[in-house]
Structure 1
């Protein structure tokens, strides 16, 4: 039997955040999770025998700021994009089971839907109703909820300020959390959002959150389409941070396809554990992990991504929970947004 994987200081208060989109309304051509699968996940996390710790994003970040412990399976649920299925199919279950959540709204989608009578999007009255729950945190995303690869800093700042102004007008408060639309970032966008004073901003790259995770773009596991099954949910709920620095590319929108990702692994990870690292990418035939120096790694792709989005995940086996043999993984995720012609 191999040596037991080591723990790190990051593990003390790590947590996992999930990103949902449409919930139910399965006849609509919008990515999401079926009502039945969502109920299975709610049953899983509310069963006291399964030892989940259901917390708000606030609770996670405060624990990490104070270096206070969080139990294993500390998770938080977030919902994206203002889809009205939330208030019909998710909100009642969250209330009935006393589950904290964050709802990221697009003021522009709501404004447009109210003008056109589009019932697939929440109304401002819906959002205010949801916000009255002490379980709710309301965050914001962009006003237009568009892809950002062709947007300059001026237009990104104007969109963000417009979204913030509409949020302030309708909700009578300031948003504390931001979600990048489609999980996409450019250098200009990261710079614009960094000046807005949010407590944290979220992407859509996979991984667990540790106290060293950059709050400019925290990871979330997306729960959509082929990523909705219960086994994946249970596995990712146990995942741990993979502490790294010097991440390249530093944005999700890339200018070369295939990309040339690289990162430096923290000294908290032992050399023995580091030898067990594996990386996987969607639609890529072969990956080579090239070690450069003592702890820096670059990933070489055999071919380009064929779709407009690509993912790379690197994992390390971690120590199982005491008294169990359930596998745990350190997880580092990359999301690549690939503009046309790249």
Structure 2
């Protein structure tokens, strides 16, 4: 895999984690000796398993073989090549529900784990993607927005029922596919919250009526969420929610804003897929602010993060920001694991991201993390 641009380097190398020492007491009975030895080995495995976090690389698609919509389309030949790569390189393709269930149980994710998800239920999913998914027998999660079902270019309820029978997992993508973080003119916070709740619940009722099932997973329209929206989705009983900021899911991830790698437009290539598939999680265990809504669009937002010691070389931590902009990473009070990230200039566009990467200390892999930012006057009204 090609190398990434190098950012400013900061700290001395992190001290290696100390492992447990072997038992050498020769006075204990043989049985006790072996019991202690087995315990020590199990403890060592536990320590080693947490020194480099296993992750799930989840990919997001919209349209298949629809080149007149370039920003959300992927060619079916490219999609076929991606699925072939997964099979030829022995990746375990899990359903999102399986991944979420493992996370909720505190169970480790398997090595070389990937998942496929599709938003918006365009008809090209059925005509362009499903024949290939059937061929490789890979699970997929389809996030459906209720108002679009049966409209021109979208799947019908009859088609969705058939897909459910084939094992396609259905997720809730809201009823309206609106910018759910935004208040409407004159709308109070309380009215906004009730409207959003009604919107999501209306879609759930449609799924129950037409598909005889209740989705356990939610995907935010446009990948946009806020802390208040997360609380609503969580309160409605969803097991997890997915956004569109890029990154690798890990065992300690917050379940209500899980990342996915978008596969549309310039990102929808075989090489781009392989690069993202080989990424490992940059395990951010604390971040502030959690809410991605930018409070003062005239100033670049500041992000403070704490990163777990997962084998990443944090001396070579890099930051990228979209648009004609750059960002800097600064250690907080000389810390080895806590950093402040800020762009040089105010952000552009409604949605932007700070993306952080770091190489491994002892391997050739790269770690990846993205933090979403949303700039919207309507969202700021909250």
**Aligned 1:226-305 pairs, distance under 5 A:** 226-257=266-297, 258-266=300-308, 268-269=309-310, 273-293=313-333, 294=335, 295-305=337-347
Cα offsets for 1:80-130 (capped at 9, x unmatched): 0121110110011101110111111111221xxx3xxx3311111111111
Task: Pick closer, same or farther for the CA change 1:237–1:177 going to 2, 3 Å.
Answer: same
SS of the residue corresponding to residue 174 of structure 1 reads coil
**What is aligned with 1:52?**
91
> Which has the higher Rg, Structure 1 or Structure 2?
2
Residue pair 2:99, 2:109 contacting (<8 A) in 1 also:
no
Q: How far does residue 319 in structure 1 lie from its aligned partner after superposition?
A: 6.0
TM-score by length of 1: 0.87
Distance 1:66 1:305 in 2: 37
**What is aligned with 1:217?**
257
Pairing 1:104–2:143 present: yes
Distance 1:133 1:339 in 2: 40
Distance 1:53 1:315 in 2: 24
Q: How far does residue 154 in structure 1 lie from its aligned partner after superposition?
A: 1.6
Residue pair 1:37, 1:229 contacting (<8 A) in 2 also:
yes
Q: How far does residue 11 in structure 1 lie from its aligned partner after superposition?
A: 4.2
**What is aligned with 2:171?**
139
More deviation, 161-170/280-289:
280-289
Q: How far does residue 177 in structure 1 lie from its aligned partner after superposition?
A: 0.6
Distance 2:132 2:362 in 1: 31
More deviation, 146-155/7-16:
7-16
Pairing 1:41–2:73 present: no
Distance 1:14 1:244 in 2: 13
Distance 1:320 1:128 in 2: 49
**Aligned 1:141-160 pairs, distance under 5 A:** 141-151=173-183, 152-160=192-200
Distance 2:318 2:368 in 1: 10
Distance 1:286 1:13 in 2: 30
**Aligned 1:76-225 pairs, distance under 5 A:** 76-110=115-149, 114=150, 118-134=151-167, 136-151=168-183, 152-225=192-265
* Matched pairs, number: 324
Distance 2:274 2:262 in 1: 14
SS of the residue corresponding to residue 332 of structure 1 reads strand
Distance 2:146 2:49 in 1: 40
**What is aligned with 1:324?**
none
Residue pair 1:292, 1:298 contacting (<8 A) in 2 also:
yes
Please, which runs of 5 or more residues in structure 2 have no aligned partner? 1-12, 18-47, 184-191
RMSD between aligned residues: 2.5
Distance 2:221 2:51 in 1: 28
Please, which runs of 5 or more residues in structure 1 have no aligned partner? 322-326
Distance 1:168 1:125 in 2: 14
**What is aligned with 2:359?**
317
